[in-house]
Structure 1
Amino acid sequence: MKIDTEKAKATLNRLLAMFESGDLPPAVARTMLRRQAGDERPSDKWSMGNRIIMFLNGTEDARGFKQWEEVNRRVKKGAKAFYILAPLTKKIIFKAKEIDPETGEERKIEEERMVVIGFRFIPVFRYEDTEGEPLSESKYAPPEPPPLAEVAKAFGVKEIIYTPSSDNRSYGFYAWGENGKKIVLHTHDVKTWFHELGHAIHHTFRNLQNGQVAEQEIVAEVFAAVMCELHGIRGYHEYSWQYIKHYAANDPGEALKVIFRVLSDVEECMRRVFTATEDLEKKSAA
């Protein structure tokens, strides 16, 4: 899709005007991928951090030695484990005092709580490093790849993975490591795809930090909103505006200030994706 710079800038300005006025298109319903029956995996219960470690090790299914044996698969000879973190917990008795609302007298209370006192490393093995009976395999990718999927390779994205979320709260994430960059999506909603692609492009000229860093998130979200608008995909702008405000203390005025503070980075992401698109089209036509 070839878009001239002036049209892109006009779209960005129109979007900012929508955010400022609050006059946004009606929101569509968000969707999330759900694990299909019979496709449950131990990693579904892992923390987001451990799942990122798994994906960066090049697999969508990792388990302990005995867990693989339980599904009639064996770890191949010479296969190397990678490690995830499991919390070490301890029961403690929490003591406190409270006022009895009926008598007004002070009384002591005791409550048993579980607290995390540390972490331990647990070795797990990739599905690709096992052999034995095949597992049921469900496909979660959409029928057609999202817009600019091929262009993502120009920014080092080696793989786009569609898989259900472990907590039903995250719609996706961008991760990078020794095995390259990956985009993991827990939804087919194109806004999330554009958001994570924005992170990948942003990372080509800024050293991004791990975690939810406000300005990084706002760059990716404004980029996503512009891409949706340019591709004629409406219904997500309300979510984008709420997302941006979340990273600006839910203050609309502060949110607009932050957008303008990072606007040059948004524009650079746009410039790079258009350049990469044109380069890909030239190669295809050659």
Structure 2
Amino acid sequence: MKEERLREALEKLLSMFESGNLPPAVARTMIRRQAGDERPSDKWSLGNRLLMYLAGTEDARGYRQWEEVGRHVKKGAKAFHILAPLTKTRKVKIQDPETGEEREEERPVIVGFRFIPVFRLEDTEGEPLPEVDYAPPELPPLFDVATRMGIKVKYAPGDGSCYGSFQPGLKRINLHTHDVKTYFHELAHAVHNTIRPLVGGQDPVQEVVAETVACTLCEIYGYTGYAWHGWQYIKACAGGEPKQALKLVMKVLCEVEEVLERIWEVANPEERGCAA
């Protein structure tokens, strides 16, 4: 019974990909930071936020900024550095778009950068920071699969660069949207990693496996508005060509089925070993 249900959903999805006849797309959403949960890093450049993530934290501030929220940097803690622009006011020539005439105007101009030391949240102690629950009112289907596998799922605002991610080393799924397809996608990565270790980065094969699994699960649970987004993502992974995208999907089909079956087994342990 389970094999038939999975196979039917997968065949329906492949048929839609091949024909291009996809249901209307739903609008994607991103989690926005709520009032009271603002962080200085929210205003940092993408490069500085990347330095923060590479330092292994999601919140970093200067020494005085931590003191302002009742926390203190631990003795011996080492800072990492971000870059802040140095500006000077200079006269620049501006051309009026309507008349074409040039005029001088004073504007701030970046003339260099300076290093600013900041410390990770994990290297501070003191008053607890406000905790905001960003989880959706209703958790997505198969949420218990991640729990049973010992994988932590965290909903939180992101930097806008992605909807979610899976960190194999931490056994954690990070979600920056309540869209159910993103949870399915990252869950597929987590399960795929138990079958064979994932390689780092945006590997096209791994991404197509996860996205095909996610779209199939959306079909099973009635979330029909995500197939269009899934197909666009798969095409991008295959270089933008629909024929190449279909070939790539067919190439990874065995892995897709293996991941789907593993998810189903974890979700329904009572069916394990049953002929049905």
**TM-score where L is the length of structure 2:** 0.77
Contact 1:146 1:193 in 2 (8 A): yes
Contact 1:76 1:131 in 2 (8 A): no
**1:152 partner amino acid:** A
Cα distance in 2 for partners of 1:203, 1:114 equals 47
Are residues 1:165 and 2:158 paired?
yes
Query: What is the match of residue 199 of structure 2?
Result: 209
Question: Which of these residues, 197, 203, 207, is aligned with residue 187 of structure 2?
Answer: 197
Following superposition, the deviation at residue 263 of structure 1 comes to 1.0
Cα distance in 1 for partners of 2:212, 2:111 equals 41
Q: For residues 91-130 of structure 1, what are the structure 2 equivalents within 5 Å?
A: 124-126=119-121, 129-130=124-125
Question: Which of these residues, 174, 178, 188, is aligned with residue 166 of structure 2?
Answer: 174
Contact 1:64 1:125 in 2 (8 A): no
Are residues 1:146 and 2:168 paired?
no
Cα distance in 1 for partners of 2:36, 2:86 equals 33
Query: What is the match of residue 178 of structure 2?
Result: 188
CA offset digits 1:40-89 (Å, max 9, x no partner):
113333556446446xx5x65343433311323223557x56x7674699
Query: What is the match of residue 72 of structure 1?
Result: 70
Query: What is the match of residue 131 of structure 1?
Result: 126
Find the residue that maps to 1:150 and give its secondary structure: helix
Q: CA RMSD in A?
A: 3.1
Summarize the Cα distance change of 1:219–1:90 in structure 2 as closer, same or farther, 3 Å threshold. Answer: farther
Find the residue that maps to 2:191 and give its secondary structure: helix
Are residues 1:244 and 2:234 paired?
yes
**1:242 partner amino acid:** Q
Cα distance in 1 for partners of 2:240, 2:181 equals 21
Cα distance in 1 for partners of 2:58, 2:271 equals 32
Find the residue that maps to 1:210 and give its secondary structure: coil
Give ranges in structure 2 of 5+ residues lacking alignment. 88-108
Cα distance in 1 for partners of 2:195, 2:112 equals 41
Contact 1:244 1:255 in 2 (8 A): yes
Are residues 1:253 and 2:253 paired?
no
Contact 1:52 1:175 in 2 (8 A): no
**2:139 partner amino acid:** P
Summarize the Cα distance change of 1:77–1:71 in structure 2 as closer, same or farther, 3 Å threshold. Answer: same
Cα distance in 2 for partners of 1:172, 1:70 equals 31
Following superposition, the deviation at residue 135 of structure 1 comes to 3.9
CA offset digits 1:5-42 (Å, max 9, x no partner):
12201210110000000111111111111112332113
Query: What is the match of residue 13 of structure 2?
Result: 15
**TM-score where L is the length of structure 1:** 0.75
Cα distance in 1 for partners of 2:111, 2:259 equals 45
Query: What is the match of residue 258 of structure 2?
Result: 268
